[in-house]
Amino acid sequence: MSEIKSSRAVHDFLAEAEEIIEKLNLDLIALADRAESADFSPELLNEIFRGAHSLKGLAGMVGFDDIGELSHHMENLLDGLRLGKVQLTVELIDTLFISLEVLLKIVHGKGKNESFTVDLTTVLSRIAALGKAPANPDEALLTTCGVDAKILDVLTEYEEHRLLENLKQKRHLFRVNAVFNLSSFDQDLSEISELLKQQGEIISTLPSSGDFSDKIAFQLLYGTRINRDEVVALLGHDEIEVIPVGDEQPSQAFADTAQAVAVSPASSPSTVDSAEAGSDASARSISRTVRVDIDKLDYLMNIVGDLVLAKGAIATIADQLRAQDDSLGGELQKATRSLERRLDELRDGVMDVRMVPVGQLFEKMARIVRRVANEHGKKVVLETLGGDTELDKMIVEDLSDPLMHIIRNSIDHGIEKPEERVAKGKPEKGMIKLQAMQRGNHVVILISDDGRGIDPDLIHSKAIEKGLIGKDTVMSRDAIFDLLFTPGFSTRDEVSDLSGRGVGMDVVKTNIGNMSGMIEIDSTVDAGTTMLLTLPITLAIIKALIVKVCGRTYAIPINSVLETLMIERRDIRTIERREVVELRKITLPLLRLGHVFNLEEKKNSSDRLFIAVVGLAEKRMGIVVDELIGQQDVVIKSLGSVLSFVRGVAGAADMGNQKTILVLDVGGLLSDTLRGDGSIHV
């Protein structure tokens, strides 16, 4: 993914890397302090392990192989420690501290020069030497600890290690059996787990078999220093069974072993030999980044929006004063223009802070692709392009669920099993490509796979079977694929017949529409499927074309408006009962908002009509309006969940004169109009 490397991506990485290293340092100090008593929390060790893993992943995204390599070796060492394959020693903690020093030095160096690096040979040799640990001699204890063999058989390597550690720590072992309702088992299980963690460690959580039709049972293997009565009192539920495992009093054999695991006192970080790290590592932070909650940025953006509206009101007053030949009008206009420039700078500054590279989202998808592919026994490679393309943080967040759904669908139903692909002459590994690119004021995200594709003939026949279209209905290829977005189109029957591609796609389309975007599908049988998402860069504050239709005022996002026209009524023709107009040898479908929103159209004797030509991706449409009022900055406010069913509307905007207008959802209107459904009634 080195292609997404950019100065902005590097800057963001260095800030985050420095933060991770700082956190790792604090956690490592805590581990060293607690290691003296051999009573450190496994959660602490897991947290350090995850920190090293995150650093490795982030370094890979920006192509810093040296940071990625050292983090990788640290991660392996920490993994061995988690699994009990490596002993916690003073030397190991010293080595981890030295590794952090080296990492910090590299990060600082790259802050000045991206090509900066250091020789990792020495520190990697130290890590490698520590990783050569002897086999665990205590595994025989597992067979005598009294834990049911059926449970031992299903424990993971990590859980076996934690069981051994609890035995060595002379802790009591209990089986905690609990039965929950299916509707709330996740919350109930979480509640009990939190209670147990207050006084011990949950070694394993296993679903348990039982004769329950509407319930689910769990068996928790629990290690603690308190006795059974105290565990029962801690849980406070009489119906939860707490059963001692083996002898409730820890055996002397375990007690003897416990003495063997105590490590020598860890040295203070200040005494660590830092020769490998160099003595010039500065404690001064290279990053000038401050992480800000997106809600605080929303608050700032709302203030900017209010200032924009106030500026508009002042400009109106200035115009009125000038119209009355008041000299103050001219002065006020000059002041307003200066205010406008500074306000634009402020708006752009706040907007820039909200923008994040879409590569952050792609990184999350990489983890999902790996997990889902493993779940379905498939081999899938994810290719990403254009990760440095920037989008508003809120849009990136809202996009994650639809994108995840599309990718899951692609792996589940699009990509074939390895043997099926080989039989078709395809590579054993399937390919999913995520690509982002900026087109004007929009960002286009392309999700494509090389799977079995979608057969339009099957979709067409299913639509006839379900009564969505007539038997003789002739539809374009695009219109047929649009049927996949029809609510309820996909049922279990369709899942088997149509590869399940329609399942939940109506929700995906709704979510994309809520972001004023649109989604298109193209597919070829046995060649693959491509989905194209077109999204605005931001929704926070936009320029809009204000228009009047049937006495109502609407805002059309200016980034969707290609041009405005004045046409003669006689230029309008009708094709298949749809109004169209010829525009530069292209047939442009027309949309009348009065018809869409069921408004009473006023009689207009003029032979001329105004048209706002709007477009997203390759789609074009003309919106017929009565009056073009002009452009204005507007702050879009959501209609909320109560009005989420309203189609054709992206939100509402305050005009600053105590009037609120609706902002049109151009993407939704385009899709519905081109599909022939131009009768959206609010």
Residues in the chain: 682
- Annotated catalytic residue within 11, 16, 19, 53: 53
Contact 245, 145 (CB under 8 A): yes
Structure tokens at 523: 């597919």
Three-state DSSP at 388 gives coil
The set of residues, in sequence order, having a beta carbon less than 8 Å from that of 656 and lying 6+ positions away, is 308, 309, 310, 312, 313
H-only helix segments in 473-575: 477-482, 492-497, 505-514
CA neighbor of 539 nearest in space, from 628, 431, 652: 652
Among this protein's residues, is 409 annotated catalytic? yes
For the question of residue 598 being annotated catalytic, the response is no
Output b/e per residue, 492-503; b: 16+ Cβ within 10 A. Answer: eebeebbbbbbb
290: number of Cβ within 10 Å: 7
Strands (DSSP E) found in 100-211 = 172-181, 200-208
Spatial CA neighbour of 220 closest among 250, 246, 190, 248:
190
Q: Alpha-carbon distance 441 to 562, whole Å? A: 11
Spot the catalytic one: 75, 160, 165, 416. 75
Active-site residue (options: 409, 413, 460, 494): 409
* Rg over CA atoms, the chain: 32
Q: Rounded to whole angstroms, how far apart are CA atoms 107 and 19?
A: 11
Quote the distance between the C-alpha of residue 486 and its chain's center.
25
Side by side, the strands of the sheet bearing 552-557 are: 627-634, 542-549, 552-557, 660-664, 649-654, 636-637
CA nearest to 272, candidates 27, 21, 32: 32
Task: List CB contacts of 219: < 8 A, sequence separation 6 or more.
Answer: 151, 175, 176, 177, 205, 206, 207, 208
Phi and psi of 245, rounded to 5°? -105, 120
What contacts 192, CB < 8 A, 6 or more positions away?
176, 178, 220, 235, 237, 240
- With 0-12 / 13-18 / 19 or more C-beta atoms within 10 angstroms meaning exposed / middle / buried, residue 260 is exposed
User: Is 72 in the active site?
Assistant: no
From residue 412, alpha-carbon distances to 202, 369, 500, 501 in Å are 34, 10, 9, 9
* Tokens of residue 311, six digits: 């500026």
Residues with catalytic function: 53, 75, 409
